[in-house]
Amino acid sequence: MGIRPEFVQFLASATQGAVPVEIQSVEDLGNFKILTARLGQEQLMVKISEDMEISPGVGWLAFPPERTRLYADNLAVK
């Protein structure tokens, strides 16, 4: 499964369909930030707006179905 970092949605509170993640770091890159989070054994990176304030601890991620792709043998199948 794959999704570009700018399409992952970071949510400050739980909503239906969102998954909890552990926030590891937030890197300020000027006009945007990159949030690094852990979901189980996987590390995910999320592009967020420069003015979004992130608290350490737990956050939630949503993966819009229209932006999520399924891959098999390195080829997109959906």
Instruction: Answer yes or no: is pLDDT of 78 > 80.
Output: no
Domain 5-67 architecture: Beta Barrel (2.40)
Using a pLDDT cut of 90, give the percent of the chain over it: 45
Residues 14 and 21: beta-carbon distance below 8 Å: no
d(CA 5, CA 16): 20
Classify burial at 33, counting beta carbons within 10 Å of its beta carbon; exposed 0-12, middle 13-18, buried 19 or more: buried
The confidence band for 24, taking pLDDT boundaries of 50, 70 and 90, is very high
Mean pLDDT computed over 36-45:
92
- Region 11-40: mean pLDDT is 92
Instruction: Read off the pLDDT of each residue in 23-35 and give the average, rounded to a whole number.
Output: 93
Rg (CA), the chain: 13
